Amino acid sequence: MRARRALLYMPGDDEHKIHKATTLEVDCICMDLEDGVAQNRKAEARKTIQEALKSINFGGSERLVRLNPVSSRFIDEDLENIITSKPDGIVLPKVKNADQISWVDRKISAIESKSGWMPGSIIILAIIESALGIVNLKEIASSSSRLRGLIFGAEDLAADVGATRTEPGWEVLYSRSAVVTFAAAYGLQAIDLVNTDFLNLEKLRAESLQGVQMGFSGKQIIHPNQVKVVQESFTPTDDQVKNAQEVVAEYLSYQEKGRGAFVSDGKMIDAPIVKSALALLERAKAAGKITIVPKIDYLKLGEGL
């Protein structure tokens, strides 16, 4: 699975900002048709994004487009104009149930078939930002083979449940945790909330590292200043990679000797520790720090016991 450490939103009607984004070496550039574009600029934004997808070299950045919600009057024109320009994927906001994902999936499939493209070539990332979306996470997470990740929208979620947003974020912690939990259960990436204070980079770093600790694979961002801090935060350090590799190597060695749990540097190493090490190595591989992650039968790590 590709790295999505930072997902940078850029207004879809601003060609200059889209060009700027391509110089930042950010994992994902998401050209926005929703909140970042005024209602009377939607058509202009579609044209700008179409041209960008055809003419701009995005380098190694994933080319994403955030459409308007399925419930909006703009969605049909969004799909007709954007999917035919073949982005790498779409970000679907305000997802409340699995039917919305399935409906968009069918629309994309029809265009892929008509265009002679490989089925499933355009992926979907779903933003969960309502109480109903949280309640329906199980069905949403298993709704489509195109679905690659769940994105947590804290601001809309808080407004939907009537919560007051605070800096510690306790009011959205349950929903934030639910998104990362269901993403892990269904083999999806989880992309964390936006920090709107793009000048306070220390606060951003702390929040990013908290997201890493919670199990998120990346974070939404809204400003070029945030790219480096976020991508560094979601990239394992050299020491972390080295330690994880040593844990896995020791585990394999002890397995050959017929032993399960073992002690290393005064710490008990068992199945959950090995799984965490493997997960970290997968993140390191996605970020390009390593090329190989050992293959281990998870049944031997206690899966399903």
The pLDDT tens digits for 39-97 are: 999 999 999 999 999 999 999 999 999 999 999 999 999 999 999 999 999 999 999 99
DSSP, res 100: H
pTM: 0.90
Report whether 148 contacts 1 (CB < 8 A): yes
> Does an H or E element contain 30, and which?
strand 28-32
Domains defined along the chain, listed by start: 6-233 (3.20.20.60), 238-301 (no CATH)
> Longest C-alpha distance within the chain, in Å?
68
In the three-class reduction of DSSP (H, G, I as helix; E, B as strand; rest coil), residue 10 is classed as: strand
Q: How far apart are CA 230 and CA 238, in angstroms?
A: 17
Count CB atoms within 10 A of the CB of residue 102: 15
Q: Where in the sequence numbering do the catalytic residues fall?
A: 270
pLDDT tens, position by position, 167-186: 999 999 999 999 999 999 99
User: What pLDDT, on a 0 to 100 scale, did the predictor assign at position 304?
Assistant: 38
